Structure 1
Amino acid sequence: MKLYFLGLLIVLTLFNCKKNGNNSEDNYAYLGGEIMNPNSDFVIISKSDVVIDTIKLDSKNRFLYKVTNLKEGLYTFYHGGEIQMVLLESTDSLHFRLNTLEFDESLVFTGKGDKKNNYLINEFLENEIQEKKIFKFCQLKPQVYENRVDSLKAFKSNKLKAFKTKYSPSPLFDKIAQANIDYNYYSSKEVYPFVHHGHNKAEILKSLPSNFYDYRKTINYNDGFFKEHNHYNSFLRYSVNNLALKEHLDHSNDDVFKRNSLCYNLDRLKLIDSLISNKTIKNELLYYFTANFLTKSTNTENNDAILSVYLSKSSDETAKNEIKRFATSLNNLKEGGQFPEIKIVDYKNTEFDINSLIKTPTVICFWSNTYYNHFKESHYKLNELKMKYPEVKFIVINIDDFGLDRPKASLKENRFKFKDEYQFKNPKESIEALAIQPMTKTIVIDKHQKIVYSNTNIFSINFEEQLLGAINR
């Protein structure tokens, strides 16, 4: 293994030594990698939502690819449902190694360009940990909270300053790394009114210092450079939530703010339309919030109202067709309706019509190797529920589309039994028909094959109450 890496680095270094200077012949970069426990036999490299190439892994699950006509900036590599970004600059020769069971946590870069990318991935992981702290800090009073997040920003800024002093990275890296710090900080400000435990959101907004959101004056809500940037997109979503909250509270008579109310969600789509002019950014925000509302709504009239506004404001015809199909699937799963005819296969590759298995109250859950932590946690929870409710059948379906071997290995590695475990016969069509979004979605069916709950969650505090209701029907 060590000889392979040494050999690869020597080859990449020789490529770099051939030319010097910033001429057109230097307009390339190499990206290679090794993937342990691969979920498919290829990786996809893209930039700005445009696929550059699909590269097949070799027999040792490795690849090496030359990006020609390089446009310096953030590139995306995709494997088996997981996505991560890398920064590529002229003549970089970047190699990574990762384990799909811990995709982001295991990701390590070597070669020319490794320092900046290891910095960025480590910061990404630190932000995931910090997010949990932020949610706890949100219960503090506004000024105390602001002091805490200011301290976190100062710590990150000092860390970036030390990195720049030691390695003298490019202005492009500096721009991206500073944006990570800034937009993460701005997001922590935007999320405060929603996470703070008070129910009176109007009073919470009034309690904020007058300059709490002064940074908004400098924000470009139509930044084409950062439109695929995770921190920028997260900030946009949080900020749109917050700006729409202010507008909603100005005309709402509700005593308690309801995030899933039709009125608030319509206000949010209208705000996106008025605030955002960049078509890509606008269309993605409209799609995200419309899909998010639909997944949580069981009211078909509200669904139709949201859908109508979305279709009038989006200019992305492909996305519009997707959301229409998604809404149709959700409406077809209305409570009291018949569960659709879906083909599934067990791990002996025996095919079943799922309705033929439903003779008692039944819970249907889903999982994917892409969401490995959810896979494990949901199976532990299901084991508890199976012990408590032996009269209920639990059907657990892996939604991945890369054969039986990988999900079967995941079950075996974690010592989960194969009983009542299945895969879709036709994953793409079945996922669309059941509108599986988010992954925590759970469907409860009574003994007459009628849908009791089309979108609940086994981790919900009232799930067992819902389950008892289905048992007693």
Structure 2
Amino acid sequence: MFNCKKDSNNSENNYAYLGGEIMNPNSDFVILSKADEVIDTIKLDNRNRFLYKINDLKEGLYTFYHGGEIQMVLLEPKDSLLFRLNTLEFDESLVFTGIGDKKNNYLVNEFLENEIQEKKIFKFCQLNPDTYERRVDSLKALKLDKLNTFKAKYGTSPLFDKIANANIDYSYYSSKEVYPFVHHGNNKAEILNSLPKDFYNYRKHIDYNDVFFKEHNHYNSFLRYTVNNLSLRGHLKHSSDDDVFKRSSICYNLDRLKIVDSLINDKAVKNELLYYFTANHLSKSNNSENNEMLLNTYLDISTDEAKKTEIKRFAASLNNLKVGASFPDIKIVDYKNSVFDVKDLIKSPTVICFWSNTYYNHFKESHYKLDELKEKYPEVRFIVINIDDFGSERPKTSLKENRFKFKDEYQFKNPKESIEVLAIQPMTKTIVIDKYKKIVYSNTNIFSMGFEEQLLGAINRK
């Protein structure tokens, strides 16, 4: 795609090139950053390509962001790295060429293989602890063999070795931390007591404030699983839930914030975890009293003023979507550019769903599911809204390519404002409204086991 020449004017050779071609772009730019610092916003040319030189390179992991998708690259001095990707299959289509390609292709492939492995891990979790441990130990050994073969064949830097080994270690640790939650049965105390005494011995050597890895997916997943697990053990000591553990318990969710506060010292790592756990609970809970308690605890502990403001607004939006409340004033646009107020379209029981090209698999699976529901419940109107903010052509193309009908398909007229008002998090969020334009369920999911029962309840409301 590009010819990157060695820069003879840079005597220190402390630079790297990053370039690429993006098929089906969601926007006309790429954002490049390192840690929390944005380096530059890079425009795509008329062929959807870019080339960027990083001077005074700080070797390490860099992040490039495009249209809601994020991927990391490892850059070291004199790398000249090019990539090609299709946004419809962002990670799966990503391929690197040029100087530095082999190490980055290895890391991307390892990331994709780990996603596949996670499904195996969930199945293995139903095994007894000793058998499970042998299985995950075997998976780790295979990964280490593959890494050692790669190192012997291509030669690698200490920095690459550090990152590649950390990927394997933190993935392995995560598989240990998740076991009590995925293992069948609600008696979590019994499951924890059945674990070998050395099952979590690696915790003695963990750095829970590793600034180098704080932007890294494997490390962050491990931290979340660990906080869940440590909170579980503490929660069970003072829980009144008898033998049945409930993730939605306010006691457990408060315990998670306290564990984060006591375990993590680095402000950036701590604030991110506090926000994640608080927003996650608020988005799923309908108990306003408990939500207020958790929110106040978060506000007391967090030192990130921007995130505190953000989550207060998120909580306020959720509060306005209570059962029995009127659906808010939201303007939407169909694919003929006609503008409507959502409330004007509600004349019967109505289901409102959302999708984004960023979550392409969800887009397809949710539309297949909606087609089934529309056939079973013809008396219900299903309004489907694309939340993206990059025009109508891309969503229109996605619908056409997958042969989905345009009937009752819309986009937000003001995406950012509407997403905030409707507190759309997670993407699976579904709102059910009765024929009187009153909210019946503000945060359900068309894929949940009880959804059709909820739908029947909305249909039969008098």
- TM-score under structure 2 length normalisation: 0.99
Q: Secondary structure at the match of 1:356?
A: helix
What whole-Å deviation, never above 9, does each CA across 1:284-307 have from its counterpart, x for those lacking one?
Answer: 000000000001100111110000
| 1:178 equivalenced with 2:165 (yes/no) | yes
2:460 and 2:6 map into 1 onto residues whose CA distance is: 70
Shift, 1:199, TM fit: 1.1
Shift, 1:68, TM fit: 1.3
Q: Secondary structure at the match of 1:15?
A: coil
Q: Secondary structure at the match of 2:91?
A: coil
1:462 and 1:51 map into 2 onto residues whose CA distance is: 43
What whole-Å deviation, never above 9, does each CA across 1:286-331 have from its counterpart, x for those lacking one?
Answer: 0000000001100111110000000000000000000000000001
Shift, 1:64, TM fit: 0.3
Q: Secondary structure at the match of 1:104?
A: helix
Give the match for residue 401 of structure 2. Answer: 413
2:216 and 2:13 map into 1 onto residues whose CA distance is: 26
The runs of 5 or more residues in structure 2 that have no matched partner are: none
**Corresponding pairs, count:** 460
User: Which residues in structure 2 correspond to 1:272-291 (within 5 Å)?
Assistant: 272-291=260-279
Give the match for residue 15 of structure 1. Answer: 6
| 1:347 equivalenced with 2:335 (yes/no) | yes
Give the match for residue 443 of structure 2. Answer: 455
1:389 and 1:198 map into 2 onto residues whose CA distance is: 34
Q: Secondary structure at the match of 1:30?
A: strand
Report the AA paired with residue 436 of structure 2: H
Shift, 1:15, TM fit: 1.5
- CA change 1:229–1:24 in 2 (3 A) is farther
| 1:299 equivalenced with 2:293 (yes/no) | no
Q: Secondary structure at the match of 1:60?
A: coil
1:44 and 1:68 map into 2 onto residues whose CA distance is: 16
Shift, 1:24, TM fit: 6.1
Q: Secondary structure at the match of 2:425?
A: coil
Report the AA paired with residue 437 of structure 2: Q
| 1:437 equivalenced with 2:425 (yes/no) | yes
Give the match for residue 366 of structure 2. Answer: 378
| 1:338 equivalenced with 2:298 (yes/no) | no
Shift, 1:78, TM fit: 0.5
Q: Secondary structure at the match of 1:374?
A: helix
Report the AA paired with residue 462 of structure 1: G
User: Which residues in structure 2 correspond to 1:153-164 (within 5 Å)?
Assistant: 153-164=140-151
Report the AA paired with residue 270 of structure 1: K
User: Which residues in structure 2 correspond to 1:116-135 (within 5 Å)?
Assistant: 116-135=103-122
1:72 and 1:400 map into 2 onto residues whose CA distance is: 34
Give the match for residue 130 of structure 2. Answer: 143
1:124 and 1:87 map into 2 onto residues whose CA distance is: 13
1:306 and 1:69 map into 2 onto residues whose CA distance is: 44
2:57 and 2:433 map into 1 onto residues whose CA distance is: 53
| 1:262 equivalenced with 2:225 (yes/no) | no
What whole-Å deviation, never above 9, does each CA across 1:239-298 have from its counterpart, x for those lacking one?
Answer: 000000010011112120101100000011011101110000000000000000001100
Q: Secondary structure at the match of 1:440?
A: coil
CA RMSD of aligned residues (A): 0.9
1:299 and 1:332 map into 2 onto residues whose CA distance is: 13
Give the match for residue 238 of structure 1. Answer: 225
**Which of 185, 188, 204 is the aligned partner of 2:191?**
204
Report the AA paired with residue 335 of structure 1: V
Report the AA paired with residue 272 of structure 1: V
Give the match for residue 22 of structure 2. Answer: 35
1:45 and 1:251 map into 2 onto residues whose CA distance is: 46
Shift, 1:124, TM fit: 0.2
Q: Secondary structure at the match of 1:25?
A: coil
Give the match for residue 357 of structure 1. Answer: 345
1:212 and 1:246 map into 2 onto residues whose CA distance is: 14
Q: Secondary structure at the match of 1:235?
A: helix
1:332 and 1:15 map into 2 onto residues whose CA distance is: 58
2:112 and 2:317 map into 1 onto residues whose CA distance is: 35
| 1:317 equivalenced with 2:308 (yes/no) | no
1:233 and 1:68 map into 2 onto residues whose CA distance is: 29
2:144 and 2:429 map into 1 onto residues whose CA distance is: 39
2:199 and 2:71 map into 1 onto residues whose CA distance is: 32
Q: Secondary structure at the match of 1:31?
A: strand
**Which of 453, 457, 461 is the aligned partner of 1:465?**
453
- CA change 1:40–1:207 in 2 (3 A) is same
- TM-score under structure 1 length normalisation: 0.96
What whole-Å deviation, never above 9, does each CA across 1:384-441 have from its counterpart, x for those lacking one?
Answer: 0000100000000000000011000100110001000000000000000000000000
Report the AA paired with residue 42 of structure 2: I
| 1:389 equivalenced with 2:377 (yes/no) | yes
User: Which residues in structure 2 correspond to 1:60-99 (within 5 Å)?
Assistant: 60-99=47-86
The runs of 5 or more residues in structure 1 that have no matched partner are: none
Runs of 4+ in 1 over 6 A off after TM superposition: none
1:420 and 1:180 map into 2 onto residues whose CA distance is: 44
What whole-Å deviation, never above 9, does each CA across 1:333-384 have from its counterpart, x for those lacking one?
Answer: 0011111000000001100011000010000000000000000000000000
1:383 and 1:42 map into 2 onto residues whose CA distance is: 35
